[in-house]
Amino acid sequence: MAYQIDSRTVVRAGWALSYGPGPNWQYITNNNPYGLGADPYTLPTLGNNQPVSYLKDGLSYNAAAMYVATLNPGAGLTPGTVTGSVGTLFDRNGGRPQRVNQWNIAIQRELIPNVSLEMAYVGNRGAWLESNQMGRANLLTVERLKAVGLDIDNAADRSLLTSPLSSTAVKARGFTVPYANYPTGQTLAQSLRPFPQFTGSIAPIWAPLGNSWYDSMQSKLTKRYSHGLDLTAAFTWSKALGLGNGANGQGGALGGGINDQFNRANQKSLSGSDRPFILTIGFNYSTPKITSNKLVRYVTGDWIFGGILTYRSSSLISVPSSGTSNIGTYTFQSNTRYNVVSHDFFTLDPGCHCIDPNRDTKLVNAAAFQDVSQGQWGFSAPTYSDYRWVRSVNEQLSLGRSFPFGRERRMKLNVRVEMFNAFNRVTLPAPSASNPAQTPTYNSAGVQTGGFGFINTSSGISGARTGQGVLRFEW
């Protein structure tokens, strides 16, 4: 809706509740789940020098095993063994379309003739986005471990969790196999899982467990064509958050890695697409015909100088994964991160235009991170807004003119020159930031080739200015 306050000011507002496309369903049978299509059947492995069968007896097998229902928990399992997974787990709410609640309120005002400014608040909230990593069914919790008398903070208990069921220490604490014929070579932690026969996390697909949040201030300056110039400049200041990730197709949540799916509120983080500042300017200027001299007016007038300039915040750099926590060994939940103890992430400002990758080999401050104690979760978020590389710049300029000639000026010669990265800005690759404890590496000449905070330029540096010319004749 819109309301005109006065002859130069308009207020607009809108609200919508929309349902978007769900994940890419493809063909369910492409995943070859048990119970659909042809189920594999494996004959038992016999001892050495033992015949599997005799030709005179024909094929001997259990025909019922060829048509095991998907709901049978023993489908695809060989007695006395464990396996990664069997078939595919489809989330029971997998068909639910994502929902987006969106709104905006804007005010537009004419500043001077042909120039207007518009400012708006735009926001939305997304629900039921695909987040398969939030629905893993075969994980351990601290509460589950405590229920059987194990404390993850106790070194002896952590050692016990990684010991095989056949060990004396495990038996002394009263632990035994979860069911008959379970292999005793498996660890105690594996045997305590909800589904101990599977070593995988059993993540479903199409699980609508994710959420998203977006808030922004969007402004636009518009100059309609006058005095040879038209211009549009748009600036966005925004924040995008997500909860959940692990989509199997479109419509997924874009939050950071899930480290503890049972602490749902703690998984809310900056979205991978978060770019807080974006400025885009587009313009065209037509040169005037100067002086009264016909030749000068013909040469200088009607040239079109245009450009599209885009400046935006760079992508986020992820907080590195812990190297000592080993929480996944005890709970089978991963993505535990280093703790951030300082926001002085860089030893040099990434935007200082002073970085020499041959000289500045430690651009990320390792002291800003502290590893997590064994068996613990880190408290850091997956990403931080002030932990990103240098801003992204895209500057394109063009200059062109159409020269009409001939009878009734029906023929035209069009000349145009286009420049990409017109100001020849250098774009350095992001530094290595995956392991603060990484030891620097060097080649035979003593030149550093790797390490935390190192910029690898072996594949070249992008950003070289390029241009092209276009000459076209019309008749």
Q: Are 229 and 219 spatial neighbours (Cβ–Cβ below 8 Å)?
A: no
Site of tokens 């005793």: 184
Nearest to 273 by CA among 323, 216, 230, 322: 216
At 10-66, the pLDDT tens digits run: 999 999 999 987 666 555 555 555 545 455 556 656 666 777 677 787 777 777 766
CA distance 71 to 230: 66
Sign of CA dihedral 86, 87, 88, 89: negative
The pLDDT assigned to 168 comes to 95
Burial classification of residue 103, based on how many CB atoms lie within 10 Å of its CB (0-12 exposed, 13-18 middle, 19 or more buried): middle
The pLDDT assigned to 68 comes to 59
The pLDDT assigned to 110 comes to 96
Q: Which residues of the chain have pLDDT under 70?
A: 22-48, 52, 65-76, 248-251
The pLDDT assigned to 420 comes to 94
At 109-166, the pLDDT tens digits run: 999 999 999 999 999 999 999 898 899 999 999 999 999 999 999 999 999 999 999 9
Residues near 380 by beta carbon (within 8 Å), at least 6 away in sequence? 319, 337, 338, 339, 340
Query: HEC string of the chain?
Result: CEEEEECCEEEEEEEEEEECCCCCCCCHHHHCCCCCCCCCCCCCCCCCCCCCCCHHHCCCCCHHHHHCCCCCCCCCCCCCCCECCCCCCECCCCCCCCEEEEEEEEEEEEEECCEEEEEEEEEEEEEEEECHHHCCCCCCCHHHHHHCCCCCCCHHHHHHHCCECCCHHHHHCCCCCCCCCCCCCCEHHHHCCCCCCECCCCCCECCCCEEEEEEEEEEEEEEEEECCEEEEEEEEEEEEEEECCCCCCCCECCCCCCCCCCCHHHHEEECCCCCCEEEEEEEEEECCCCCCCHHHHHHHCCCEEEEEEEEECCCECCCCECCCCCHHHHHCCCCCECEECCCCCECCCCCCCCCCCCCCCCCECHHHEECCCCCCCCCCCCCCCCCECCCEEEEEEEEEEEEEECHHHCEEEEEEEEEECCCCCCECCCCCCCCCCCCCEECCCCCEEECCCCCCCCCCCECCCEEEEEEEEEC
CA distance 219 to 291: 39
The pLDDT assigned to 23 comes to 64
